[in-house]
Chains A and B, each alone.
Chain A
Amino acid sequence: MAGEATIINVAARTSLWLQPHRIVLILIAIGLVLSAIFFMRWDWLPQYYEMGLLGIWRSLWILAVTCFLGFLLAVPLGLAQAAGPIWFSVPAKTFCTVIRGTPLLIQLWLLYYGLGSLFPQFPWIRESWMWPYLRQAWPYGVLALTLSFAGYEGEVMRGAFAGVPKGQLEAARAFGMSRWKIFRRIWLPQAIYRALPTLTGETVLQLKSTPLVATISVIDIFAVSSKVRQDTYLTYEPLLLLALIYMIITGILVFAFSKIEARIPNKVG
């Protein structure tokens, strides 16, 4: 009896959801996708898909590495601003302000075209073990994106650290925890919980900053689509596919973060 009721309920909900205007919209969407598939040129796909997959891989690992390293940097940056003595908090504040106040493209080019082209003037750098890395483009891309992520997330972490109620920390001290233990067990986890919703947004923004590395000759997925455009003189097809790829990656990221957020205890603080 109860089962039947549920079925009726689901059917009723479905019929409620499937209203005429929604059906029309769905049909239009399907029509757009099908016409894109059949009326546009996709014959270049077999020639470029291998390069494209490699490009997606590059975009993804750059995203993962820079978000991870950037977050590791953001924790001390936030802590220094929230609770540090003045000789820590002022440099951290300055760093965050400069990074957030200048376009990422300029930071990237200053590092690559500026700093990177100073290195070869010193023979001891050219002869060192670092040179094979320093002459490539990706280290500069990773560095610039990491600093950028750290700058934005450092500001978020400052708020998160400051937002943890003092009573919690005092209670921890009353238990006789050391400062490091308080930080590790009470302060940091709660700050991360608070920062997590914004972390999703920052990561998605970071994904959309990765195409900038194409301007310093790293072949990410954006660079591959540019190459397709220049080789085939097609405009829409590679760009639409590129947009779809970024949307799918964003969807996966948002889904993954929502799963992590769901595991956080509801009551914080």
Chain B
Amino acid sequence: MKTVLKTLAAALLLGVAAMGVAKADPVKIGVAAEPYPPFASPDASGKWVGWEIDFIDAVCAEEKLDCVITPVGWDGIIPALTTKKIDLIVASMSITAEREKTIDFSDKYYNTPTAIIGPKDQKFGSTPDDLKGKIVGVQVSTVHAVYAKKHFGATAAEIKEYQTQDEANNDLAAGRLDAVQADSIALGEFLKSDQGKACCDLKGMVAPDDEVLGPGVGAGVRKDDTELKGKINAGIKAIRSNGKYDEISKKYFDFDIYGGGGAQSN
């Protein structure tokens, strides 16, 4: 009897040990606990779904990493990374100089382009010449306000600043603006609404300006974790070139989410 127990205990220990070995090296992917559809949000059963989840799954599969999704509150996500509670931040985090003081970033993996929308009955594009003499609405104190002043300030009749994006959208629908510039995802949601559908459509994406708009969204890694950073970069490159990235993106978006600058810019 005693031997049986001992064997059992040993087997149990071994089993635990074996599991420990198997799971010794999972990469903990930190996602923001706050839902951010269509990028990352828990579905009805609590499973994390979205473009960003599909994306990092593809990268992990490509690099044969054992990845575990770990939700962390957005405000504590960088400390969680530096204290090794998570190993990678995949939470639509824009690459900024301020954050780069604390953590490193992979290459950008998406960059929601900045879009221009306007009234349906007018045909124009998104270049400074297209907006000549037009009244352009932006949200106050955003990168878009800075961008519009810098690039359209000379040609547009007026750059009008609004407290909220909704007010700018409203005024576009009411014919008081000729165009609105903002993040393409936000504007995409407006164009899908009844009001947006009735009045307006997409005129195009603006030319990239990394200095103002930033290079885009990257995965955050610890500064000393160059191995993981290298693997993630390699994974992004691989799924960009083998079509997996586009395949995932098509499921969620009807435009190129990788953004301006083209695939060759890393």
B residues lining the A interface (CB < 8 Å): 140-141, 160-163, 167, 170-171, 173-176
Contact = CB atoms under 8 A, between A and B. Distances in A.
A135 interface: yes
Contact of B175 (A113, A135, A217): A135
A136 B176 contact: yes
Given A113-B170, A217-B167, A217-B171, A231 B141 contact: yes
Contact of A227 (B140, B160, B171, B175): B140
A217 B162 contact: yes
A118 to B, nearest CB: 9
Most buried by A among B140, B170, B173, B174: B174
Given A116-B174, A119-B175, A217-B160, 14 more contacts: A113-B170, A117-B170, A117-B173, A119-B174, A120-B174, A120-B175, A126-B175, A135-B175, A215-B163, A217-B167, A226-B140, A226-B163, A227-B161, A230-B141
Most buried by A among B141, B161, B163, B176: B176
A222 B153 CA distance: 23
Contacts of B167: 217
A227 B174 contact: no
A120 B160 CA distance: 19
Contact of A230 (B140, B170, B171, B174): B140
B196 to A, nearest CB: 14
Interface string A98-123: 00000000000000010011011000
A73 interface: no
29 contacts: A113-B170, A113-B174, A116-B174, A116-B176, A117-B170, A117-B175, A119-B174, A119-B175, A120-B174, A120-B175, A126-B175, A135-B175, A135-B176, A136-B176, A137-B176, A215-B163, A217-B160, A217-B161, A217-B162, A217-B167, A217-B171, A226-B140, A226-B163, A227-B140, A227-B141, A227-B161, A230-B140, A230-B141, A231-B141
B140 A117 contact: no
Contacts of B140: 226-227, 230
Nearest 6 A/B pairs, CB to CB:
A120-B175, A117-B174, A230-B141, A135-B176, A231-B141, A230-B140
Interface in A128-177: 135-137
Interface string A210-240: 0000010100000000110011000000000
Contacts of B173: 117
Most buried by B among A113, A126, A135: A135
Contacts of A135: 175-176
A166 to B, nearest CB: 52
A227 B145 CA distance: 12
A231 B161 CA distance: 12
Contacts of B175: 117, 119-120, 126, 135
Nearest to B162: A217
A161 to B, nearest CB: 40
A139 B151 CA distance: 29
A30 B138 CA distance: 42
A47 to B, nearest CB: 13
B150 to A, nearest CB: 15
A106 B218 CA distance: 45
Nearest to B142: A230
Contacts of A217: 160-162, 167, 171
